[in-house]
Amino acid sequence: MNVRYRVIYVILAVIIVAFSVRLISLQLISGQSYREQSQQRTMKTKVKEAPRGDIIDRYGRVMVTNKMSNSVVIKKVSGQTDEVLNELIKNLYILSENSSQYVSTTFPIVYENGTVKFFFEENEAEPKKREYAWKRKYGIEPDASANEALQFFSEKYSVSEPNMGYRLKITATRYEMTLRDFSYTTDFTFASNVPMDMITVIKEQQTAFTGADIKTSATRDYKYPSIATHLLGRVGKISAEELEAMRDDGYNINSLIGKQGIEKYAESYLRGTDGLVGVEQTKGGKNISEEIIKEARAGNNVTLTIDLDLQQAAQEALYDTIVDIRSKAKDAASGRYADSGAVVAVDVNTGEILAMASYPTYDTANFNQNYSELLNNNAKPLINRAIAGEYSPGSTFKMLIAAAALEEGVITPGEIITDKGIYTYYKDYQPRCWSYRQHGTVHGAINVTGALRDSCNYFFYDVGRRLGIEKIDEYAQKYGFGQITGVEIPSEEHRGVVASPESRKENNGIWYPGDTLQASIGQSDTLVTPIQLASYVSTIANGGTRYQLHLIKSIEDDAGKVLEETKSEVLSRVKLTDESYAAITRGMRLVVTEGTGENAFKNCPVPVAAKSGSAQMGRYTNGIYVAYAPYDNPQIAVAVVMEKSGGGSDAAPVARRVIEKYFAGEVENDSFTARNVLIG
């Protein structure tokens, strides 16, 4: 045999012997050990959450982004009993309390001041209806008390904790874990944004926290937690009802989605595409290795029309003005109980919303832990008054009456009507001009420009009567009243009410001729929102073009490429001749130079045109103020509403500060925090 073949045979023999020895070692000598290791390991696929896109102001300043934070998660451990799991949850709660960490669940039972009671966070207007539906879902008797419902779930999850507070917390968490599909493949997030001291204890005391682990992921970071809170909105875990409608779009029971504001409206843009990760773990839940199966893709960025500086200035002006009114007021009528308001600023030539503030506001970062307090606060800080507050427009409605009367030929710009103090056209209803009622004086012979300057009720009683309620309603519709503006927070916006015989009839009422007189001065049944007022005065300022108001300027991908851009859209054009425009805007200018706005706008560097309005609500009076600037080249329109302020002129300082800020340029103080203290 050839020597070369002998060498090959020897090498093959050595290889076969080596493999045989290795197989004997693996299967016979170490087989039991490797078998036990294999049985203690599991493979599972986990979703890698994609970061949401940023929300940015019109000048590129980030208002909302993401940050990496630590969460405490509970992993399902093989063989772990209910009792052991419940003890783990209790230990986590004790640790959370020591670290001042808030833990959120959707369990609709709470324990407050020694009392167990039902509490439903959503649709608070129908709590009983939701209570019965919830009981029916779980087979609980309709008349069962909160204590009995808690006992039902405590028994279901074998919770025997004697301390009522901890019993409810453990039960609530087990309830939430069931909702969130807690399993070997789906971890449960117990608490988010946890502090380092909590993480340290969990890692050091693994025996007491078996099944608990730390997860690092991207969470929402609101750079200015009290700025534009109502506008930006918030995110939260998807509800069962939301999942039912969104499952086909790739959502799961643990998805975070926009709950309010832009976060909700722009959900499809902001949401990224989740990835997948293959994870090898021990039976105790400890990760051994991870492998990316599918990369996560970040969401798109949303650029707003909002100017962050102007938004900050608007919020600060609201707060400061309310504090000032209260400090000077002698009684309820003069503003002692002023506690809330809203302001909207609009670009009159594009429909872009530059600022939209509602006071009081709240801190997004502490929303969950403060929810009950916010919900029960008398000032109702959860309401976005800019789009959901409905108010009588008062005398700010008089420009609409003037425009309708001038364009319909009911009056001419120079026509004179003599104010006699008491309007006596009807025998059974004879209202008085405000000047006669308060001071016993009259405005005398006056045209439409002077009537706007002096806010003469007598003049507009007569003009409104001659115009008729049908024409008033027609023009109210043209200017956008009684309908939503379509701004990108649709689920929260109210449409208001246009006073009319039809709407009165719908409410089982009768329309009388005197109601037309009241409607002519912005009273009667008419209700408007601040954003509608901003659209209205913007339409007047630019000569009759009503733009679609909007908050989103553009959508960009994470590389900065513009994917969509909002173009200015004309909704309608309200006919307004040059003569009519001049008569109305001249009257608004005189309000500032000679009328109720003279003191507020004294020495203002920008020429402003404005109109105030007051709407009495029992013993309180709301103040309304609309303005635009510059008078001779309109660029910005502002609408302000101050609840219980005492009168329209009290809201003027807010409008001035917003206008001055707009023309003053940007500030450089990025550390600004809005004053969001709830005034008591």
Percent of the chain's residues with pLDDT above 70 = 90
Could you tell me if 59 and 85 lie in one domain? no
Same domain, 606 and 469: yes
Do 297 and 52 form a contact (C-beta atoms < 8 A)? no
Residue whose C-alpha is closest to residue 663's, from 624, 633, 642: 633
Q: Which pLDDT value is given to residue 677?
A: 40
What are the helix and strand counts (H, E) for the chain? 24, 23
Lowest mean pLDDT among 121-135, 150-164, 482-496, 508-522: 121-135
Range of 44's domain? 40-69+218-304
**How many domains is the chain partitioned into structurally?**
3
Give just the sign of the alpha carbon dihedral 446, 447, 453, 458: positive
628 in any annotated domain: yes
Closest CA to 203 of 213, 190, 193: 213
- pLDDT-derived band of residue 374, with 50, 70 and 90 as boundaries? confident
What's the pLDDT tens digit per position in 316-336? 999 999 999 999 999 998 989
- 158 and 242 housed in the same domain: no
**Per residue in 12-61, pLDDT tens?**
766 776 666 566 655 655 555 555 555 556 667 777 788 999 999 999 99
Co-location of 588 and 502 in the same domain:
yes
Q: Mark whether 499 and 531 lie in a shared domain.
A: yes
Residue 396 inside a domain? The answer is yes
**Residue where a domain terminates, one of 282, 304, 326:** 304
Within a domain: 10: no
Same domain, yes or no: 147 and 243: no
Instruction: For residue 62, count other CB atoms closer than 10 A to its CB.
Output: 14
Per the model's pLDDT, the better-predicted residue between 347 and 281 turns out to be 347
For residue 333, tell me if it sits in a domain: yes
241 and 389 fall within a common domain: no
Question: Is the domain of 152 the same as that of 238?
Answer: no
| Secondary structure (H, E, C), 218-272 | EEEEECCCCCCHHHHCCEEECCHHHHHHHHHHCCCCCCEEECCHHHHHCHHHHCC
pLDDT at 592: 96
- The answer to whether residues 293 and 312 belong to one domain is no
CA pseudo-torsion sign 196, 199, 205, 208: positive
At 28 the pLDDT is 55
Which pLDDT value is given to residue 206?
86
Mean pLDDT of 285-293: 71
Cα separation of 218 and 234, whole Å? 15
The pLDDT of residue 123 is above 50: no
Average pLDDT over residues 467-491: 95
Residue 192 resides in a domain = no
What mean pLDDT is predicted for residues 111-127? 76
Q: Is the pLDDT of residue 159 over 90?
A: yes
pLDDT above 90 (res 143):
yes
pLDDT at position 107 is 93
pLDDT in tens, 531-567: 999 999 999 999 999 999 999 999 999 888 999 999 9
The mean of the pLDDT values for the chain is 89
Same domain, 247 and 139: no
The CATH number covering residue 294 comes to 3.90.1310.10
Q: What is the mean pLDDT of residues 298-311?
A: 96
Same-domain status, 399 and 280 = no
If asked whether residues 516 and 627 sit together in one domain, one would say: yes
pLDDT at 122 over 60: no
Output the pLDDT for position 675: 41
**Tell me, what's the pLDDT at 668?**
40
Quick one: pLDDT at residue 33?
55
State whether residue 325 is helix, strand or coil.
helix
